[in-house]
């Protein structure tokens, strides 16, 4: 687990995992609880947490893209797109990021 903190790509992979989990919890659990059971408490807790993780993911993606000289047309846009799709960050971690460590 400590290997994720040693490199920029490792930190990006960790943030990608956390952002992916927060999106799944928000969309799969919190939003249904809000609209089916009229309980918005989990959305109020997970919404800001997911927003912060989303911003960290975007900023770290841009930072890693600059440091590793990713071409925007081939790599960076794919990594950025992944955070908008459920399970996207897990896919991009497996296909792109894990091969860079």
Give the mean model confidence (pLDDT) for residues 53-71.
93
Per-residue confidence band for 20, with pLDDT thresholds at 50, 70 and 90: very high
Q: What percent of the chain has pLDDT over 70?
A: 95
The pLDDT of residue 48: 96
Per-residue confidence band for 4, with pLDDT thresholds at 50, 70 and 90: low
For the entire predicted model, the pTM comes to 0.89
Question: How is residue 99 annotated by DSSP?
Answer: G
The pLDDT of residue 73: 85
Rounded distance, CA 48 to CA 80, Å? 19
């Amino acid at each position: 687990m400590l290997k994720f903190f040693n490199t920029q790509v490792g930190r990006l992979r960790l943030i990608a995992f956390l952002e992916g989990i927060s999106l799944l919890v928000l969309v799969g659990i919190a939003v249904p609880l809000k609209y089916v059971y009229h309980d918005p408490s989990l959305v109020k807790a997970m919404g800001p947490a997911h927003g912060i993780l989303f911003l960290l993911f975007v900023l770290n993606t841009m930072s890693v893209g600059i440091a590793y000289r990713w071409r925007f047309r081939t790599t960076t846009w794919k990594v950025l797109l992944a955070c908008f799709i459920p399970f996207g960050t897990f896919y991009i971690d497996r296909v792109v990021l894990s091969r860079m460590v």
